[in-house]
Structure 1
Amino acid sequence: MNRTILENASPASSRGVPRCRGIILRLRAILADKQGVGGVEFALVAPMLLVLYLMSFELTMGFSAAKKASMASSAVADIVAREEKVTKAYLVTMSDVAKAIFVPYPPTDLLIKVTAIKIDGTKTAKVAWSWSSTGVAPYAVGTSAPVPANLLIADTFLIRSELSVSHEMMTYLPGMVSGGTKSLTLYREFYYRQRLGAQITCSDC
Structure 2
Amino acid sequence: MTMTRFRSRLRSDQRGVAAIEFAIVAPVLVVLLLSVVTYFTAARDDHQAKRAAFTVSDLITRQTSVDTAFLTLARQILIHTSPTSASEPALRVTSVSRPVDAMTVDWSYATPPFAAMTSVAVPAARLPAIAVGESLIVVETDAAYAPAFPIAGLVLPRLQNLTSARPRLVGRIARTN
Q: TM-score range by the shorter chain?
A: 0.7 to 0.9
Offset, 1:168:
1.5
Structure 2 residue runs without a partner (length 5+): none
* TM-score of the two chains, using structure 1 as the length reference: 0.75
Distance 1:44 1:191 in 2: 51
Q: Give CA deviations for 1:45-66 in whole Å, capped at 9, x if unaligned.
A: 1111111222222222221221
Tell me what 2:170 maps to.
Answer: 197
Higher relative contact order (CA 8 A, sep 6+): 2
Q: Distance in 1 between matches of 2:113 and 2:157?
A: 24
TM-score, normalization by structure 2: 0.85
Does 1:113 pair with 2:92?
yes
**Higher strand fraction (1 or 2):** 1
> Alignment identity in percent?
21
Question: Could you say which residue in structure 2 is the equivalent of 1:74?
Answer: 54
Aligned residues between the structures: 173
1:136 Cα deviation from its structure 2 partner: 8.4
Runs of 4+ residues deviating >6 angstroms: none
CA drift of 1:172 comes to 4.4
Q: Which runs of 5+ in 1 are unaligned?
A: 1-18
Q: SS of the residue aligned with 2:146?
A: strand
- After superposition, the CA RMSD in angstroms is 2.4
Report deviation, 1:183.
Answer: 7.3
| Structure holding more helix per residue | 1
**Aligned pair in 2 of structure 1 residues 145, 153: CA closer, same or farther (>3 Å)?**
farther
Give how far 1:145 is off.
5.3
Q: Distance in 2 between matches of 1:165 and 1:60?
A: 18
Is residue 162 of structure 1 aligned with residue 135 of structure 2? no
Partners of 1:167 and 1:185 within 8 A in 2: yes
Comparing 84-93 with 53-62, greater Cα deviation is found at 53-62
In structure 2, how many angstroms separate the alpha carbons of the residues matched to 1:64 and 1:136? Answer: 25
- Deviations 1:131-169 (Å, cap 9, x if unpaired)? 0134986123xx345444642322211000000000123
Amino acid in the other structure paired with 2:140: E
